[in-house]
Structure 1
Amino acid sequence: MSSPRPHFLVLTFPFQGHIAPALRLAQRLLADVPDALVTFSTTEAAHRHMFPAKPGDGDGAKVPADEHDSRLEFLPFSDGTEAGILPNMALNAYLASFHAEGARTVAEILDDLATRGRPVTRVVYTLLLPWAADVARDRGVPSALYWIQPVAVFAIYFHYFHGHGTVVAEHRHDPSFVVELPGLAPLTIGDLPNFLTDALGALAAVGAHDVLPVGPVLQSGEMSGIFKQDDVEYMEWLDAKPENSVVYVAFGSLATMGREQLDELLLGLEESGRPYLCVIRKDIKVALTDAEAEMPHECLKNGMVVEWCDQVRVLLHAAVGCFVTHCGWNSVMESVASGVPMVCVPGVSDQRMNAHLIVHDWRVGVRAQVDKGGVLRAAEVRRCIDEVMDDSEAAVEVRQMAGKWKQIVVEATGKGGSSYRNLMAFMDDGARSAV
């Protein structure tokens, strides 16, 4: 009897910030292991968003034939809901359903794939799916956590659950208090992730572990624009701008923004005197009142506001000279790989630590300060943009460092580089699991 082909089941939480890096990893697995199979799975609601039904499809969404071949399959699992997680839904209640139904239906996927002659040889799962390891273990399948945040954040969570949680908890209201964790430079409470949730409590049970740095795993191929078809208007707008002149602004797929913050942001961008491309998601506009939802066109003299754009394409454009970002890890890695300096406006989760890395460790950006009400004021927007885009010695150094880190990424991810070698080692181990 012949040995099964290496087959990776890639599972992910139904947020775009989780789906995107998981999908990129799936692409790399297919590209670098010629005989490998990959099954990509997220929740039914997210799957429908990725592959919306078109006229003539009948019931439900279908995967476009030209966006996968026989080696790649998309199979959704259930989270126990019809519409997925909603803005007003309690996270803990959703996670309970997600855990129970996700574990049950992923087990069914594993069994069905084995019955079809495509047995899974390695399960790979992202954050918030600790049950995936249990399901895989029950079926005798090796598994691996694909950590989609910086390894420094993994270390912080790990040490929090292994002897350092008390000191962090005791000083959580003092952002200037310095914490020393094994293997990490001293950090303030204000640098740490702003929550340590029960969903990450599984790290309490983690003992010795192997960590393979494989990033950044960047997007490529036809699947890069999977969430929305591209619109060339903003690319044509960029084409007409001088090199390194444009400020690009985007705060990710989850961050919210009120009218006051939007007004201050646009005012600061205009006062910078530089052309800017600003992403204001449709759901942010919808959340405003009807009167507020309209962009104040009289303020948009220097820039363009869009609801969505292909961020990697934008960051790679020669006209872009600065990225004002919420510091989500995907955005950070895309910016570093593109050599674009950043203005950091961190919000939740790992974003504060990401900002610390950007400003203090890599020196490729500056951190913006919000006021006591949490609003980023126009003057601060203007100041920070100047700090990375003007002709001062500090700004020149930031741009030089951004260029150096871009080269480091090229070397690490290219053939023979450290990240490339680690990914090959992981793939080779997955292939051996199939024997």
Structure 2
Amino acid sequence: MAQPAAVRGEHGTHFLVAAYGIQGHLNPARALARRLAAIDGATATLSVPLFGHRRMFPSSSPDDQEVSDGVIHYAPFSDGQDDGSWPTGSGDETARRRRASCDSLSAVVRRLAAAGRPVTCVVCTLNMPTVVQVARAHGLPLAVYWIQPATVLVAYYHYFHGHGDGGIAAHAADPAYEATLPGLRRPMRMGRDMPSFLADDATGTGDDLSQMIVRGFREMFEQMDDEEVIMKPCMVLVNTFEALEETALEAIRPYLGGVFAIGAPVVPLAGAGEDQAIHLFAQDEEKRYMAWLDAQPPKSVVYVSWGSLLTYSERQAEEILRGIRRLNLPYLWVVRREGRSPEVDRLLLATAAAVPEGMVVEWCDQVRVLSHPSVACFVTHCGWNSTLEAVACGVPAVAAPSWSDQPVNAHLLAEEWGVAVRAEREADGVLTGAELARCVELAVGSGDMATAIAASSRAWKERVREAVAAGGPSERSLRSFVKRVQELEFLRSN
């Protein structure tokens, strides 16, 4: 349990890591902050919007401006909508929330300085242009923490630097069009591999939220190009490993001065401690689902989770259950209560009585589940955190992407690394039970593809463990970044 942080003088390099307070941004940002704080001469504070902070620390007092877990500090800021609601994409609301974020985060920077812990470098997760404004206002160096794969960084960079209007948009109506981007080994197919927000932008079919996100990305890249950016050349930390994306990393380095592959450990390491992740959703069934996994045969369980944002329609829930019944294997399925319809609730209750060999939970510790010897296959939405966790734990996957970077991640899993079977959704986005069953059977059945996937999964698991080991490439890259920041700090102070 975190306690109110004591006000005390601290010296050395102090990183302020700013992130959105949602599961997919929070955990990589927190892992980065804790790793920075473990480096001699460095400390770190994590700052997320107030709603997310309160979910992280529900027992803290509303008056607490800062808490500490003994390793890093947590100092929330207000984004002008402290109930956690999603932005609508309207210009007036965006401007209001931006002003609120800038004012509140600036107050955090001033308060930390007054407490004797001045910020010396700001790090922000992707698509937070307001944080760049705050860093500039306070004369602070800034680095971007790219929490998607380097391949997606390449796609966004080139889309905003001549390949969008110049090529991709001209062929956007053709889903089979293959966009060739500088340095990438394979072209990106418009209707299959391209980040969904870029495909929507190229075709002009994006909704208000999609358009707002693309505007944010565009502005972020403009800021990264700006000669007035405090840290130049622009520093980018990428949550990936050299071994996984060597080609993409080499492709983007000529354009962005400082690119560091600092992939955060997603598997517990010796001496790393047990406090590896924050969960924004209740895990009341943790003892029950772990005990249930213990009772299952090795490599028998199909684990299904579509992350912290996507919800299930009644038809999609029915199709997943059809697929599971068709497989006749034990299953563990994560269905968050948040956003769950009464129809899905009734369906799950009926299924629990009719299919007792499975278990439905509201949330789980995914790394613990994927590390369990009874888990055979991971049916995933292909969020980047889930993608890394599947590879690090050596679990074959069925890749069923939906939006954002997920199509790229599915491509990497299935075609670059050979550790997954890619599932095809219907035109309305539904993954049918027949397709789910077909893909699971290919991934972990008795055929040649399953044999090849198992071998690739074991090989990549070992390579990731080597990358995140103490003193390994990931740690060396992070230390190189810190050294670069400290050199800049020395130059600025002299």
TM-score, structure 2 length as denominator? 0.81
Q: Bigger CA drift: 418-427 or 232-241?
A: 418-427
- Kindly provide the amino acid, as one letter, of the partner of residue 84 in structure 2: G
- Tell me, yes or no, if structure 1 residue 217 matches structure 2 residue 270: no
Partner of 2:58 in structure 1? 52
Contact 2:314/2:344, CA 8 A, preserved across alignment: no
Partner of 1:36 in structure 2? 42
Partner of 2:457 in structure 1? 402
Contact 2:317/2:344, CA 8 A, preserved across alignment: no
Partner of 1:168 in structure 2? 168
Task: Report the Cα distance in structure 1 between the residues aligned to 2:311 and 2:399, rounded to whole angstroms.
Answer: 16
Contact 1:267/1:299, CA 8 A, preserved across alignment: no
Partner of 1:148 in structure 2? 147
Task: Report the Cα distance in structure 2 between the residues aligned to 1:5 and 1:111, rounded to whole angstroms.
Answer: 17
Task: Report the Cα distance in structure 2 between the residues aligned to 1:105 and 1:269, rounded to whole angstroms.
Answer: 48
Instruction: Give per-residue Cα distances to partners, 1:128-152, cap 9 Å, x unaligned.
Output: 2122123112222111100000011
Partner of 2:189 in structure 1? 188
Task: Report the Cα distance in structure 1 between the residues aligned to 2:67 and 2:354, rounded to whole angstroms.
Answer: 41
Contact 1:265/1:381, CA 8 A, preserved across alignment: yes
- Tell me, yes or no, if structure 1 residue 270 matches structure 2 residue 325: yes
Structure 1 residue 101: Cα displacement:
1.2
- Kindly provide the amino acid, as one letter, of the partner of residue 296 in structure 2: K
Partner of 2:295 in structure 1? 240
| Cα separation, partners in 2 of 1:198 and 1:108, compared to 1, 3 Å | same
Written as runs of structure 1 = structure 2, the 5 A alignment for 1:187-336 is 187-190=188-191, 191-196=193-198, 197-202=214-219, 203-207=221-225, 208-209=255-256, 210-218=258-266, 221-222=274-275, 224-228=277-281, 230=283, 231-286=286-341, 288=343, 294-336=349-391
Unmatched tracts of structure 1, length 5 or more: none
Instruction: Give per-residue Cα distances to partners, 1:60-118, cap 9 Å, x unaligned.
Output: 679776xx12x5211110111130224xx514455433322111111111111111110
Written as runs of structure 1 = structure 2, the 5 A alignment for 1:44-123 is 44-53=50-59, 59=62, 68-69=69-70, 71-86=71-86, 89-92=87-90, 95-123=94-122
Q: Bigger CA drift: 42-51 or 423-432?
A: 423-432
Partner of 2:13 in structure 1? 6
Task: Report the Cα distance in structure 2 between the residues aligned to 1:388 and 1:246, rounded to whole angstroms.
Answer: 13
Structure 1 residue 306: Cα displacement:
0.5
Task: Report the Cα distance in structure 2 between the residues aligned to 1:63 and 1:288, rounded to whole angstroms.
Answer: 41
Task: Report the Cα distance in structure 1 between the residues aligned to 2:288 and 2:344, rounded to whole angstroms.
Answer: 27
Q: CA-atom RMSD, angstroms? A: 2.3
3-state DSSP of counterpart to 1:348: coil
Task: Report the Cα distance in structure 2 between the residues aligned to 1:287 and 1:36, rounded to whole angstroms.
Answer: 49
| Cα separation, partners in 2 of 1:382 and 1:113, compared to 1, 3 Å | same
Task: Report the Cα distance in structure 2 between the residues aligned to 1:58 and 1:176, rounded to whole angstroms.
Answer: 54
| Cα separation, partners in 2 of 1:399 and 1:216, compared to 1, 3 Å | farther
Task: Report the Cα distance in structure 2 between the residues aligned to 1:292 and 1:263, rounded to whole angstroms.
Answer: 8
Instruction: Give per-residue Cα distances to partners, 1:244-299, cap 9 Å, x unaligned.
Output: 11111000111121001101101101211111100011024246477557453344
Structure 1 residue 418: Cα displacement:
2.2
Structure 1 residue 226: Cα displacement:
4.2
- By relative contact order (CA 8 Å, sep 6+), the higher-ranking structure is 1
Partner of 1:338 in structure 2? 393
Contact 1:9/1:122, CA 8 A, preserved across alignment: yes
Task: Give the percent of matched residue pairs that are identical in Structure 1 and Structure 2.
Answer: 39
3-state DSSP of counterpart to 2:15: strand
| Cα separation, partners in 2 of 1:226 and 1:148, compared to 1, 3 Å | same
Written as runs of structure 1 = structure 2, the 5 A alignment for 1:124-135 is 124-135=123-134
Structure 1 residue 223: Cα displacement:
5.2
| Cα separation, partners in 2 of 1:64 and 1:113, compared to 1, 3 Å | closer
3-state DSSP of counterpart to 1:278: strand
Structure 1 residue 4: Cα displacement:
3.2
Instruction: Give per-residue Cα distances to partners, 1:170-198, cap 9 Å, x unaligned.
Output: 32232211111101121110210111311
3-state DSSP of counterpart to 2:17: strand
Task: Report the Cα distance in structure 2 between the residues aligned to 1:122 and 1:286, rounded to whole angstroms.
Answer: 44
Structure 1 residue 433: Cα displacement:
4.7
Task: Report the Cα distance in structure 1 between the residues aligned to 2:170 and 2:157, rounded to whole angstroms.
Answer: 18
| Cα separation, partners in 2 of 1:392 and 1:413, compared to 1, 3 Å | same
Partner of 1:352 in structure 2? 407
Task: Report the Cα distance in structure 2 between the residues aligned to 1:267 and 1:39, rounded to whole angstroms.
Answer: 46
Corresponding residue pairs, total: 425
Q: Bigger CA drift: 126-135 or 180-189?
A: 126-135
Q: Bigger CA drift: 124-133 or 330-339?
A: 124-133
Structure 1 residue 301: Cα displacement:
3.2
Task: Report the Cα distance in structure 2 between the residues aligned to 1:98 and 1:213, rounded to whole angstroms.
Answer: 32
3-state DSSP of counterpart to 1:283: coil
3-state DSSP of counterpart to 2:359: strand
Task: Report the Cα distance in structure 2 between the residues aligned to 1:298 and 1:289, rounded to whole angstroms.
Answer: 15
Task: Report the Cα distance in structure 1 between the residues aligned to 2:278 and 2:350, rounded to whole angstroms.
Answer: 26
Task: Report the Cα distance in structure 1 between the residues aligned to 2:466 and 2:180, rounded to whole angstroms.
Answer: 32
Contact 1:48/1:61, CA 8 A, preserved across alignment: no
Unmatched tracts of structure 2, length 5 or more: 1-8, 199-213, 226-254, 269-273
Task: Report the Cα distance in structure 1 between the residues aligned to 2:477 and 2:259, rounded to whole angstroms.
Answer: 10
